[in-house]
Amino acid sequence: MSQDKPSPLFPIPVSNLVPNTPEFENTPQITPTGFREYDARWLFPTEINLSGIQALGFGLGNVLHELTDNPSLVVGHDYRSYSQSIKLALITGLMTAGAKVHDIGLALSPTAYFAQYELDVPGVAMVTASHNENGWTGVKMGANRPLTFGPEEMTKLRDIVLNGTGVSRDGGSYVFVPDMAERYMADLTKRSAFKRKIKAVLACGNGTAGVFATKTLSALGIETVDLHCEPDFTFPNHNPNPEDMEMLHSLSAKVKETGADIGFAFDGDGDRCGVVDNQGREIFADKMGVLVARDLAAKHPNAKFVADVKSTGLFMTDPVLNELGAETVYWKTGHSYMKRHTVETGAMAGFEKSGHFFFNQPLGYGYDDGINSAIQVCHLLTNHNKKMSEIINELPKTYQSPTMAPFCKDEEKYKVVEEMIKKVEDLKKQNIKIDNQSITEVLTVNGVRFSLTDGSWGLIRASSNKPSLVVVTESPTSNERKKNIFNFIDKLQESEHIPFFNNCRYIINEFCKNVYHKEFISFMEIN
């Protein structure tokens, strides 16, 4: 094969093809919008076909050659009916580019990340659509463990793939690793078992986590109750999404029915974990993160943590964390951003509101792992020897909105946020008060998060994976103040003419009426 010419095996992709046509069978189809800020996701086969997946693998192989002297990577796939076919098409493209492929078969995303260390391989390509509905596919990629691609790498990949500028290389190879699942679970269970008896309901939404979660936690001495743990790529009950209220409701009912101490919900590729207490109340992941941070800070004084900008203000204001000398910085939402910042700053752990938790050594390797997150929560239960409901009730009360996502076109959303940043910064300079509270801090690392005198805050940012803004508000004072902060944001955006903000008014009004926030909105992972 030529080493200095684009490969004729992969013509330049096109964005619109019709299935069941000769063109569809001979030409790579790739919709450009599938390249996101830190991963890639498409509807299959309407937005990408198998030839397009080949071209994607070819481009990824070329990126690996640019980023590392060792173009080797781990490749795995989730349980969706078409994922194995997509993985094999991806592999042919990778090998054409001269990449060395280590295929670990059916896997969770954290299994693939672990395999990078276990096999001493720098790269990863995990075929998964995570919590998305059937019909979606995607790839989570990285070239430098435990990090995954960010915007710079994704832009490089997109340009190579869409422009057909990849180079064919000799040296591609393939090996199948048959026992990585067992090696991954053995690593998670190598620590001593829990001394306290814990009964946990495990909800897997019929996703891939069902293959791993029960075996792993049972090996640690936890009594497990399975809920939709049989893998079924049709997702007959609900999507495996620990932020989806349908999933949390079924988990809550099972916890109360069985008298379990706790309930865990895992997403489709096992890198996120949701928690329900012994009373069946969901604990939002950012609040769970504060509890885990408390537990870790008690053992490691002056510990450092990272939280995403959507997360509760308690990381800053919690008296227990402050007394223990813990330091938390807020960072960009998105598992790739959070993972990178947690690793590069040497923080003990990172917590994202969507349920991605990142633990550095000695608790983990820096990547997000839902099963490891569940293990750390069980350690918290053991250390406190209290019911989960008692532990969560020890947190200072805050009033937090759901994650609201008013529609805003992809080509407009970042400009809108830039204008919002300017407006908030000007209001701070003018000492304009919000509900009689001064703006004390303006954080612009990811949109604009402004904090008030009493610890209340509001956030406006652009979603990284959907045509929308992201709006969150929280107050330690009252529901009314939380609502008033939203009203302030609402007025702030009026001149920007954002469609469907009215829907957010309905959401915030309804949310304020319900203490436990259970009945009225189905959350998606809005990043």
Catalytic positions, please?
130
Question: How many angstroms separate the CA atoms of 43 and 423, rounded?
Answer: 38
Burial class (CB in 10 A: 0-12, 13-18, 19+), 151: middle
Closest CA to 459 of 403, 521, 515, 398: 403
**How many C-beta atoms lie closer than 10 Å to residue 476's C-beta?**
20
Burial class of residue 395 (count of CB atoms within 10 Å of its CB; 0-12, 13-18, 19+): middle
What is the rounded distance in angstroms from the CA atom of residue 153 to the CA atom of residue 64? 10
CA distance 411 to 413: 6
CB 49 within 8 A of CB 86: no
**Does residue 295 sit in helix, strand or coil?**
helix
CB 23 within 8 A of CB 17: yes
The set of residues, in sequence order, having a beta carbon less than 8 Å from that of 147 and lying 6+ positions away, is 336, 339, 340, 343
Neighbouring C-beta atoms of residue 177, cutoff 10 Å: 18
The residue among 241, 336, 271 whose CA lies nearest residue 76 is: 271
Torsion of CA 286, 292, 294, 298, to 10 degrees: -160
Phi–psi pair at 485, nearest 5 degrees:
-65, -40
How many C-alpha atoms does 448 have within 13 Å on its Cβ side?
22
Strands 199-203 and 123-127: unpaired
Rg (CA), the chain: 23
Place of tokens 């080493």: 3
- CA atoms of 472 and 460, how far apart (whole Å): 7
Q: Can you tell me the distance from the alpha carbon of 373 to that of 111, in angstroms, rounded to the nearest whole number?
A: 14
60 alpha-carbon distance from chain centroid? 22
Number of H helices, E strands in the chain: 17, 20
DSSP for 193-224, written as a single string:
PPSS--EEEEE-TTSGGGGTHHHHHHHTT-EE
